[in-house]
Amino acid sequence: MDMQTSFLDRLFEAGLLIDTGIDGLYGRSGQFEEVIAAFERLIDKVGGADGAEAMRFPPGMNRAFFEKSGYMKSFPQLAGTVHSFCGSELDHVSLLQCMEVGEDWTKGQEATDIVLTPAACYPLYPTVAKRGNLPKTGGLFDLQSYCFRHEPSKDPARQQLFRMREYVCMGTEEHVTDFRQRWMDRGVEMMKAVGLEVTIDIANDPFFGRAGKMLANNQRDQNLKFELLIPITSAANPTACMSFNYHQDAFGTKWGLNLEDGSVAHTACVGFGLERIALALFHHHGLDVKTWPANVRKALWG
């Protein structure tokens, strides 16, 4: 049995994660949720004075916006779509027959207008674009959403449905890269306050296929993505618990996000992987919150 399996098994045994029979799809205990809630309050405290506009979207988004985002060009392997039965009574009879004999009943399911949200910021860009030009001060948004990625794994830190807390900044290049740097510094400080050792490294997204290799190299060469890494299931391959992304003017151009003077907005987003942060805390301080170091408990619960 490898390390990953055993950490997952220990989380199941402790009741912190609840097995559903699907890798990467877990229930969470009240204790696990309390840790996430406490960490989110810490995020609120650190980011609160910035005056971000909070918005909460459900974990499904408008399929037309998803299509326009280009997600299927870059990450078709991760996407999840919502399909429903849209047939007649006759179709229903054959559907039930299909299920009865154990044949594939999902073939007749039709795509709905909803897809599962792949990252918390995806529904934001078209929403903000609809408002017209951004004010002089740019835009700053506070988001949290369940996100779906089809990447089943025995690693408890790689889930298929997980929560991402994000801040998204829109403005000039300098404005949004300053924002990104500020959150890298804050991220390191916050993790230190809860007793977690971190490293920051350049990263790339898992772009699909051979053409994706070039996109990934380009992303690295231009320092567009950084990750804050914490060892969870492997010391050699620490886990990304936060990401810091600079999109240049790509999203601004795609969605028609303009500044007050009509120029195209640059955008950046920082994401906290909430389950990963909770798992890092349980991994480093133990599965029983009551035994965590006093300074860590104080940072989380005052």
Residues of the shown chain interacting with ligand ATP in the complex, contacts defined by CB under 6 A: 119, 149, 151, 158-159, 162, 164, 203, 205, 227, 240-243, 271, 273, 275-276
- Cβ-defined contacts of 94-99 (< 8 Å, 24+): none
3-state secondary structure 236-264: CCCEEEEEEEECCCHHHHHHCCECCCCCE
* Alpha carbon of residue 22 to chain centroid: 19
Q: Binding of Zn ion at residue 121 (CB under 5 A)?
A: yes
Q: Binding of Zn ion at residue 203 (CB under 5 A)?
A: no
Minimal CB distance residue for ligand ATP:
273
Apex 137 CA angle, 133 and 141, nearest 5: 80
Task: Return the number of other C-beta atoms located less than 10 Å from residue 272's C-beta.
Answer: 25
Q: Which of residues 259 and 267 has its CB atom nearest to ligand ATP in the complex? A: 267
The pattern of x and - marking residues 65 through 104 that bind Zn ion according to CB under 5 A reads: ----------------------------------------
Q: Binding of Zn ion at residue 196 (CB under 5 A)?
A: no
Q: Which of residues 148 and 292 has its CB atom nearest to Zn ion in the complex? A: 148
Q: What is the DSSP letter of 55?
A: E
Q: Which of residues 229 and 281 has its CB atom nearest to Zn ion in the complex? A: 229
Q: Which of residues 171 and 273 has its CB atom nearest to ligand ATP in the complex? A: 273
148 forms bridges with which residues in the sheet?
A: 161
Binding partner of 121, given ligand ATP, Zn ion, none, CB within 5-8 angstroms per partner class: Zn ion
Nearest to 56 by CA among 142, 127, 163: 142
Q: What is the DSSP letter of 56?
A: -
Q: Which of residues 184 and 240 has its CB atom nearest to ligand ATP in the complex? A: 240
180 Cβ contact partners less than 8 Å away, ≥ 6 residues apart: 169, 226, 244, 245, 246, 268, 270
Least Cβ distance, residue 207 to ligand ATP (angstroms): 11
Least Cβ distance, residue 239 to Zn ion (angstroms): 18
* Alpha carbon of residue 192 to chain centroid: 22
271 forms bridges with which residues in the sheet?
A: 166, 243
Q: Binding of Zn ion at residue 269 (CB under 5 A)?
A: yes
Q: Which of residues 142 and 227 has its CB atom nearest to ligand ATP in the complex? A: 227
Binding partner of 178, given Zn ion, ligand ATP, none, CB within 5-8 angstroms per partner class: none
Binding partner of 243, given ligand ATP, Zn ion, none, CB within 5-8 angstroms per partner class: ligand ATP
The pattern of x and - marking residues 218 through 257 that bind Zn ion according to CB under 5 A reads: ----------------------------------------
Per the CB < 8 A criterion, the answer to whether 106 and 83 are in contact is yes
Q: Which of residues 117 and 159 has its CB atom nearest to ligand ATP in the complex? A: 159
Per the CB < 8 A criterion, the answer to whether 134 and 259 are in contact is yes
Least Cβ distance, residue 43 to ligand ATP (angstroms): 13
Give the E-state strand segments of 118-238 in sequence order.
Answer: 139-148, 161-171, 199-202, 225-230
Give the footprint of Zn ion on this chain (CB under 5 A): 119, 121, 269
